[in-house]
Amino acid sequence: MTRFAVREATLDDATGIARAHTDSWQTSYRGILPDTVLDRIDVGQRAETRRRILRDRSIYQLVAYDLTHGDIVGFCDAGPARRHVPYAGELYAIYIIDRAKRYGLGEEMMDRVRAHFAASDMRSMIVWVLDNNHHARRFYEAQGGRMGSRLSSTVGGFPVVELSYVWEHL
């Protein structure tokens, strides 16, 4: 029996995505980012930000949801590359809450993003990940990503190093 499914996001998904985003950050980044950064995340503020993102038709947006309960358990955003890089597309975000991990949702969302980019004549892709997020790095490597460049950045005022993974031919 299938427990989860993936579909394109709608404006009505904003609060569910904000909850999944917050939950995922607070579990996945615990020990990677300071607790003070994670504990001050405001779901309401994230929901408002998400509404703005959902109105942007240039962003390809997916949600993963629980077929039994109907709640959103993950999401994915992708679109044109935002930084000056030699890649056409960028995976902006992919987050899944703990209870929905290891069911193939991340792989399904990645497959849909690659297909969307190929259909949009965007034949290459980049994603940025925190250097010390080893789970995410293993996922992107398993998806065929090749390690690219590094850059210094901040998250919530905390200094981090971001590492790119690239797909040169989709």
- Rounded to 5 degrees, φ, ψ at 55 are -80, -15
Any idea what DSSP says for residue 12? G
Torsion, CA 25, CA 26, CA 29, CA 31, rounded to 10: 170
The mean pLDDT values, 10 residues at a time, for the chain of 170 residues are: 91 98 96 94 95 96 96 98 92 96 96 96 96 96 96 94 95
Q: Provide the CB-side half-sphere exposure for 21 (13 A, CA).
A: 24
pLDDT for position 76: 98
Query: Quick check: 163 and 131 in contact, CB under 8 A?
Result: yes
- The tokens describing 37, both together, are 């950064």
pLDDT for position 82: 93
pLDDT for position 137: 97
pLDDT for position 84: 84
- Rounded to 5 degrees, φ, ψ at 125 are -150, 150
Q: Of 37, 41, 40, 36, whose CA–CA distance to 19 is shortest?
A: 41
Query: Quick check: 64 and 72 in contact, CB under 8 A?
Result: yes
pLDDT for position 170: 84
The model's pTM: 0.93
SS3 71: coil
- Give all domains of the chain, ordered by start, each with its CATH number: 4-123 (3.40.630.30)
